[in-house]
Structure 1
Amino acid sequence: MNKLVLALLTIGLLAGCGPKKNKSGKDDFTFEDFRQLFAEAKLPYKLTPESLQEKSSDSSMISPEVLKQFLTDTLGKSDFPEGATIKFYPVATIDGAAVNYFVVKAVGKSATTAYICFLDKKGKYLNRLPAAKIESKKDQHFFSIDTRQVIKVTNEKELSPGNKSIREDFFGVSEDGTTTLIMTNSAGDAAAGQLFNPIDTMKAAHKLSGDYLSGENSIISIRDGDDPKSFLFFISFSKDKTGCKGELSGTGRFTGQNKGEYKDKETDCGIAFQFAGGRVSIKEIGGCGAYRGVRCFFEGSYAKKKSK
């Protein structure tokens, strides 16, 4: 009996010495364990330069073994000098329609970069997109993903005090993780007429439809909706003093003869439109922080541009 008890205890001890779940990359570290390292986020999602620069705790760092197990061990190698020490940190995970997005921050000595890693619905790694980078205060790249799952990568470079060059690249993502460049919008000292307007060619027969301008870098474009009670809109603005920017598009509803309103289905963002005297005034009626910087709002008065 004593021998039997001793044998059972030995088996129990050996079983207890087996691998346990942790961040070291052991075989029983599951995909669900890996997913829980990331903060859950929803669309629309935006990674700002300020949040990218926030210092991450080394206790949250992703080990090379785990990185290789669920993503790829080549992450960061083409964007950092050979032999450089790179620390990887989990930022956010977002469920998409075709693929899921895992945002990973890579910190090196000379720069901080963020990657959007695309995984299929079973957790298989497909591809990655370098989408944000901070090299200096004068050269910053950041990104956002809208509710249509279009990724916008914004590159800002300060040419001189108060003068910036801005390039916006828009990407679509297929089920296999392949990214496609949809369009590019570039602006230095761009006038509103030079900004890319995604609804520019749509029907504008309604008396309130048209392009409304404010300064050189801000536009509200209004186009006809599917019925007389609706309208399409595109808003893009840039504040000269603060450099704060915002962009939003959608379908609004007329609530009166010269009034309209938009309510976002994904967030609590709302915009009120007031038309009068060849102008449109807008005001936020909900939190629209997902679509603009923290130091500005969707507000102001825009004058209607005379049609050619």
Structure 2
Amino acid sequence: MKRYLLLLLTIGVLAACKTKKKPGGGADEPMTFEDFKALFTPGVLPYKLTADTLRMPLADSLSVDTADVHRFLTDTLTKGDYGKNERVKLFPLQLIPGNEVDFMVLKAVGKSQTTGYLCFLDKKGKYLNRIRVANTGSADGSVMGVNIDSKNVIKISTEKKLSGSNTALKEEFYAVGKDGNTQLIMTNSNGPTNPGQIFNPIDTLPRKHKFSGDYTSGEMNIVSIRDGDDPKTFLFFITFSKDNGNCKGELSGKGHYIAGNRGEFKDKESSCGISFQFSSGRVSIREIGGCGAYRGIKCFFEGGFGRKKK
């Protein structure tokens, strides 16, 4: 009888252990997306993340497993910011509902720097895109912070120390669409500028793809191409000034490479589209839709541009 009771007790204990769930633990019961979301503090807009906030230490026990970030978000979250073999700890910060997309904020801590990333998720929780929005110190001595207002406009502020007590502040304002793509809508800067100097908002992004680089036509006309999240996409920034400055245009976004040496951009918010034709050391662009919202009425996004040496 005692043996029978002991056997029943053993079976009961094993059954209890089997049904008890440990979020994110073990290969039998991996972390679910609901478990992953629960690691983030619920937030509301407006939201602000500064370099000083990033510097505040967090307990290692609050970090999230890199494998879970790769599974639910992206395996390229810290791409371009940390060395290949550099150990980086990831911390979940905030989960904030937005109008078009929801915002998920993560903190990355490495040996070289601490960085804040803003991830965009659709309303079903599918990862769409990410941007780097905060940093405790880049190689040039600048620091970054972000503010998202109640209208979902993202302002990224970059501050750089100059000589003495002087600082240069640059503010970039972005809108984000349902697909997670961002659109630069305005730039403010109190930093020193030189005649003929162009502010390029994607200048410091990676340029490893064979077509990535800066293409120019005169001093005030540039087509800047940078690496996308994968080999089939690219980021671009176009600015031009024609007719002695009487007609200007500026546009940035995310394009896709298509057959041959061609690329294409289609604006989700309007009929604007740009075609890119790459050749040896050159790129030609032309409008394939009305882009009047981004340029003067008497000029177009068109022409050939020669590649500038890095």
Instruction: Give the TM-score range, shorter chain.
Output: 0.5 to 0.7
Residues 1:171 and 2:174 are matched in the alignment? yes
* Offset, 1:141: 0.6
What residue in structure 1 maps to residue 165 of structure 2? 162
2:41 to 8, 32, 39: 39
8 A contact 1:165–1:189 mirrored in 2: yes
Separation in 2 of the partners of 1:19 and 1:120? Answer: 31
What residue in structure 1 maps to residue 102 of structure 2? 100
Q: Name the amino acid aligned to 2:38.
A: Q
* Offset, 1:135: 1.6
Separation in 2 of the partners of 1:11 and 1:146? Answer: 54
* Offset, 1:19: 7.5
Secondary structure of the corresponding residue to residue 185 of structure 2: strand
1:132-163: CA deviations, max 9, x gaps? Answer: 11126942111100011010001110011221
* Offset, 1:41: 1.4
1:153 to 152, 156, 160: 156
* Offset, 1:54: 0.4
RMSD between aligned alpha carbons? Answer: 2.7
Q: Name the amino acid aligned to 2:163.
A: S
Separation in 2 of the partners of 1:157 and 1:83? Answer: 28
With 18-27 and 122-131 compared, the bigger mean Cα shift is at 18-27
For the structure 1 residues 24 and 10, does the alpha-carbon distance in structure 2 shift closer, same or farther, using more than 3 Å as the test? Answer: closer
Separation in 1 of the partners of 2:101 and 2:176? Answer: 8
8 A contact 1:25–1:69 mirrored in 2: no
Separation in 2 of the partners of 1:152 and 1:83? Answer: 32
TM-score, reference length from structure 2: 0.55
1:49-108: CA deviations, max 9, x gaps? Answer: 211110011000010222122112221122111111100001111111111101000011
For the structure 1 residues 13 and 128, does the alpha-carbon distance in structure 2 shift closer, same or farther, using more than 3 Å as the test? Answer: same
The percentage of counterpart residues that share the same residue type is 44
What residue in structure 1 maps to residue 188 of structure 2? 185
8 A contact 1:24–1:63 mirrored in 2: no
Structure 2 alignment gaps of length 5 or more: 194-310
What residue in structure 2 maps to residue 139 of structure 1? 142
8 A contact 2:86–2:110 mirrored in 1: yes
What residue in structure 2 maps to residue 252 of structure 1? none
Separation in 2 of the partners of 1:179 and 1:163? Answer: 31
8 A contact 2:48–2:146 mirrored in 1: yes
What residue in structure 2 maps to residue 13 of structure 1? 14
What residue in structure 2 maps to residue 55 of structure 1? 57
What residue in structure 1 maps to residue 297 of structure 2? none
Separation in 2 of the partners of 1:29 and 1:82? Answer: 26
2:85 to 71, 83, 86: 83
Separation in 2 of the partners of 1:105 and 1:85? Answer: 14
Structure 1 alignment gaps of length 5 or more: 191-308
Separation in 1 of the partners of 2:168 and 2:132? Answer: 20
Alignment of 1:1-308 (within 5 A): 10=11, 13=14, 16-17=17-18, 20-24=21-25, 27-135=29-137, 138-188=141-191
Separation in 2 of the partners of 1:161 and 1:24? Answer: 52
With 10-19 and 85-94 compared, the bigger mean Cα shift is at 10-19
8 A contact 1:25–1:66 mirrored in 2: no
Secondary structure of the corresponding residue to residue 17 of structure 1: helix
